[in-house]
Amino acid sequence: MNGKWLIENADYPIKYILVKDNSYIAPLMQNIEVKAWFSRLTKRVERGDLSDIHGSHDYRYENIVGKCYILGLNAKIPQFDLTMRFFIDFLNKKIDENRIAYAFGEKLTFDKIYQYRDYETILACYLPFLGYVHEESVQYVANKRANLIYEFTKQGRYNVYRSDLSYPGASKEWKPYIVDPELYKNGNIALPSIHDLILFAGIYPYITNDIKLKVETTVRWLFDERYKRINSRLYYYVADDPRYKSKAINAKVGLPDLYEIKQADSKTLQALLYLCFVLSHFEAAKEWVLEVVSYLEQYRTKSGRYIFPIEMITEKKDSYVIDGGHMNIGEIQKSKNYREIVSTYWMDKILANL
């Protein structure tokens, strides 16, 4: 591991993450990248803005909090914690509202699906990594998602479509790939997403053995050859929705094998490192993670550090954190050590989980 070298050569975000010294908080908060992303968060709070939860733009909640985690911000930093309370309070409120709506059996609409997906799963998914693992609302969402998804994945079922349904009003091109409505009949999607995996990864050390087994069952389900046959985009159908009959809501977790990685385009390479970090938290993903680590060893230098292709450590405006679009950790991108520092940091982070 290269912690000493990183502490000596990296900027304050990496220094703070590795040393966890409170004396580093002030310079951390003055880092150019930290200031930019924290400003996006505080401006949302000032506006009372709870829209734009999911999406690739830099103003989207999931990108802002995902990037804040990468930069080392967490619940122990007073100004960050004060800001995050706005979103945690909203999560608490939304869970209560959704419980009431569920109890009264409101009819299914796409808005209802988004109430669960955006305002529970995505709102909560980075909170364990940010130090909010013991919040009751975070525990609730994690347990709910783990149990719900497990009830599906334990079946070993990979035919997630229904060819016997006609889906009137849906796009003709989408009909073969519309997910079985039984898998989201109450608004909660039973298929695992990358946001679920992020949530499970952050909370994994704190959950019961029973929930861990359920999470591992879900992760194992992703690595079956039959999973590859599921369409990358997941489409949904709601007959009673007043605006849409069908929508593309999310995507499956892309898991390239070693052959595909070696033939990969820049988009696949961009997502690889971040995905490998997330999956390195799970025993069921270990074989795949070790294959990726073996592939990454070709970029190891004589000094024992790493220099990855720029696609793997990109920092690109309006790009998904979940797709590896914001991999910088507060370093100056034009500095001569940028690639080595960022590459080595991420590799050490993955190896620490194995």
Residue 259 contacts residue 292 (beta carbons within 8 Å): no
Q: Residue 271: its pLDDT value, please? A: 92
Spatial neighbors of 166 by CB under 8 A, at least 6 apart, are 175
Crossing angle of helices 266-279/338-351, nearest 10°? 40
| CA-based radius of gyration for the chain | 20
Residue 7 contacts residue 19 (beta carbons within 8 Å): yes
In a domain, 334, yes or no: no
pLDDT tens for each residue of 261-316: 888 777 778 999 999 999 999 999 999 999 999 999 999 999 999 999 999 999 99
In a domain, 219, yes or no: yes
Distance (Å, rounded) from C-alpha 142 to C-alpha 140? 6
Report the candidate in 62, 59, 121 with the shortest Cα–Cα distance to residue 94: 121
Beta-strand (E) ranges in the chain? 233-237, 246-251
Percent of the chain with pLDDT over 70: 99
In a domain, 54, yes or no: no
In a domain, 103, yes or no: no
Q: What is the mean pLDDT of the chain?
A: 95
In a domain, 52, yes or no: no
In a domain, 311, yes or no: no
Q: What domain count does the chain have?
A: 1
In a domain, 207, yes or no: yes
- Domain of residue 215: give its range: 109-116+132-254
Q: Residue 104: its pLDDT value, please? A: 59
Q: What pTM, to 2 d.p., does this model score?
A: 0.96
Query: 14-23, 67-76, 257-266: which has the minimum mean pLDDT?
Result: 257-266
In the numeric block, which tokens belong to residue 292? 């990726």
In a domain, 55, yes or no: no
Instruction: Judge whether residue 323 has pLDDT over 80.
Output: yes
- Please tell me what DSSP assigns to residue 117: I
